[in-house]
Amino acid sequence: MIGTRATGKTETYRYYTCMKRLKYGKDTCDQDRLNADALDQAVLDCVASFYGNQHQLIRDAVDEARKVDESSHDKVTAELKTVRTKLTTVTAKIDKYLDAFEADTFDANDDTVKERMRAHRSHRTNHEHVRPNSSKNWRTSRLCLTPPPSPRSTTTSAPSSRRATPPNARPSQRPS
């Protein structure tokens, strides 16, 4: 059904009409047009009646959703803690490489160093895309899985991308 209208001498009449009937004519569909105003009002009345009379059903649905949320909270919290720990560890490893690079204590063109840096950055990217919502109320907090940022150049010749700090790092973990 699709919304259509017909204009009379003084009013415009709204209808719901079968798409086949509209496209190919009356012979392809014997369904009459439905008065849109009457149908819209009937649907609104049914919805209002349901929400006005089915308090217990709605309350039960909300309670069930809360139970599911509460039962998954510990698991989500543990997963988030694990991800944060891994992210902190990988970030610390990258910082060590950057510190050594800036102190000129290793060869940045060494293929082994390049490969390990790529691996650490890849691990960091994989862990950074898992973030909790900023809500302080754990009942409404969810893990948000956002796609990782687009890959950037992984050259180690310029230290311009010095120390990416996770946003959830404590002040003592932030570079000065």
pLDDT in tens, 80-136: 899 899 888 888 888 888 888 788 787 767 788 788 888 888 888 877 766 554 444
Q: What is the pLDDT of residue 52?
A: 85
Residue tagged 């956002």 (tokens):
146
Which one has a higher pLDDT value, 100 or 175? 100
Q: How far is CA 24 from CA 19, 21, 28, in A?
A: 8, 5, 6
Q: Where are the alpha helices (DSSP H) in 103-154?
A: 111-128
pLDDT in tens, 20-74: 988 998 889 888 889 999 999 999 999 998 888 888 888 899 999 988 888 888 8
- Amino acid 120: pLDDT: 82
**CA angle (92 as vertex; 99, 157 as ends), nearest 5:** 40
In this prediction, residue 174 carries a pLDDT of 44
pLDDT at 39: 94
Tokens 């890849």 — which residue?
A: 122
Q: Is the pTM of this model over 0.95?
A: no
Write the single-letter amino acid at 147. P
Is the model more confident about 154 or about 117?
117
